[in-house]
Amino acid sequence: MTTNAGAQLVLVTDAGCDLSTDMFKKYDIRIAPLKILFGDEVYQSGVDITHEQFYERLARGDVHPTTSQPTVAEFVEMYQELGTQGKPILSLHLSEGLSGTVNVARQAANQLPDLDITVHDCGTLSSALGLQVLTAARAAAAGRTIDEILPILKQTHEVANLLFSVEDLSYLYKGGRIGTVRYQVGQALRIKPVVTVCKTGDKAGTYIPAGRVRSLAKAADFFIDQITEAVGAGNKLRAISLYGDDPTLAQQMNARLTDMFDCVYLDMVPTAPVLGVHVGPGALGISYAPGDWPV
């Protein structure tokens, strides 16, 4: 059963958004699938390949996967279908600095002048995008309009953060996210980078380093230290933990967060393939925002 009876709009995101299946269903959020390419093999994320199947295929190691955004025609078809509901469409997407998806969505919206479509670049991805989408869904369910929701999303983006780290640097290297020297030095010294998404300046919406650790267990400590500094122990927290093919560390991290903060929302999800192609199966991450929901 959905919880969007009061919503006066239709909410769309893409497969770069990490939220639990329950939340997508609860708020009837439509997902534009991104394509995953293993050589000549093409899959639609979340449609004909699951997270588990993706990591099983990735583990074979014979071909490094790439991702591709939906086509303009695919967005047009989806928007036309959703437009039959007679409601405005709010389309929330991962950062333009990391994917061309939002620009494709804009092109599609421009081809449909008779539909009320607002395309918004959320400036981030993964579970940080998930926090924005969930914020929008809650606001829409409360009857807020798109004009009322957009400032709330901007505020959420300003206070929310995404941190992640990886066990194996080779995926970042193969995906072109780090250079040869940095890869070789990191492998030799067994250094794991902590990565975030920049929110201001020329690098806004792209990956930037946030620190270095020696293991994913140390990454969890680093994440919690950052959250404590930003939020304050005992205060209200919204967070979504991320993992690759093993949820153990994410489960342990969430247990610690439950003890340390007043968690108004705490979830745990596997990383979407759009991030998984760069971080590999051995990954750990978290998005977080201080305080209660705005709506």
Give mean pLDDT, residues 270-277: 84
Predicted local distance difference test score (pLDDT) of residue 192: 87
Dihedral sign, Cα of residue 100, residue 104, residue 105, residue 107: positive
Cβ burial, residue 181 (10 Å; 0-12/13-18/19+) = exposed
Dihedral sign, Cα of residue 133, residue 134, residue 139, residue 140: positive
Q: Categorize the per-residue pLDDT at 181 as very low, low, confident or very high, splitting at 50, 70 and 90.
A: very low
Higher pLDDT, 221 or 175: 221
Task: Measure Cα distances from 242 to 9, 164, 253, 272 in Å.
Answer: 29, 8, 10, 9
Residue whose token pair is 């080779």: 170
Predicted local distance difference test score (pLDDT) of residue 177: 54
Q: Which tens digit of pLDDT belongs to each residue from 58-115?
A: 888 888 898 899 999 999 999 999 999 999 999 999 999 989 999 999 999 999 999 9
Predicted local distance difference test score (pLDDT) of residue 3: 64
Predicted local distance difference test score (pLDDT) of residue 31: 96
Give mean pLDDT, residues 116-131: 98
Cα–Cα distance measured from residue 286 to residue 161, given in angstroms and rounded to the nearest whole number: 8
Give mean pLDDT, residues 271-280: 83
Q: Amino acid identity, residue 236?
A: K
Domains located in the chain, CATH noted: 10-158 (3.40.50.10170), 160-290 (3.30.1180.10)
Backbone angles phi, psi at 134, to 5 degrees: -65, -35
Do 4 and 141 meet the contact criterion of CB atoms below 8 Å apart?
Answer: yes
